[in-house]
Amino acid sequence: MKKILVTSVILLIGIIAKAQTLIETKTTSSASAVLDFARGTTKGIILPAVEALPASPANGTFLFDARPTELKIKMYQNGTWVELSGAGTNNSVPYSGTVDNAKKTVIGSRSSAADGVLVLESTNKAMVLPHVANPHLTVKGPVAGMMCYDTVTKSLAVFNGTVWSYWK
């Protein structure tokens, strides 16, 4: 009985240590992914739309700056917000607000000091964006703050509510 219990615990630890979160797929496309999406989708990730930039964000924080004078997708890197989308207009999808219930989902670790709705914590894995061929043609109803990987141009595609911008 003791051997069965020890074997079960070792197997459980092995499964947990290699845990990955898959969305709309049952197999991962990359062993280095902590969060992975189905291939061939026409769906992207919708970033949180904020009306005030966070006071002390972690490096790698992505968001949609929904202030009327901005309307841009941004990434925080070493003390600076880097713009990832072209200039927005007031024709973007209106921001409807959110409720801050002080909860977050952490994937890849039991906890995280980073402040975010969805926090990916891993020392050896990354998030793999949804792969979409020609998102400017195939995503029929993009939402401001959407991002994905364009398999045709092999670039990061971000939508600011008006235009798609591509980053190689």
- Asked if pLDDT for residue 106 goes beyond 90, the answer is no
CB 145 within 8 A of CB 53: no
Classify residue 160: in a domain, yes or no. Answer: yes
Report, as an integer, the average pLDDT of 9-25: 57
pLDDT at residue 137, as a whole number = 92
Tokens read off for 168: 């190689």
- Asked if pLDDT for residue 5 goes beyond 60, the answer is no
pLDDT at residue 152, as a whole number = 93
Give 19's pLDDT tier (boundaries 50, 70, 90): low
Q: What does residue 137 show for φ and ψ, rounded to 5 degrees? A: -105, -35
Task: Choose the weakest-confidence range: 29-43, 79-93, 118-132, 154-168.
Answer: 79-93
pLDDT at residue 2, as a whole number = 58
Number of domains in the chain: 1
Classify residue 7: in a domain, yes or no. Answer: no
135 CA to centre of own chain: 16
Classify residue 113: in a domain, yes or no. Answer: yes
CA distances for 43 relative to 59, 89, 120, 122, angstroms: 25, 23, 20, 25
End-to-end CA distance of the chain: 56
Q: Residue 92 and residue 65: Cα distance in Å, rounded?
A: 12
State which residues form the domain around 156: 17-167
Tokens read off for 102: 């002080």
State pTM to two decimals. 0.62
Classify residue 4: in a domain, yes or no. Answer: no
Q: Which residues pair with 166 in a beta bridge?
A: 157
Classify residue 49: in a domain, yes or no. Answer: yes
Q: Residue 163 and residue 87: Cα distance in Å, rounded?
A: 8
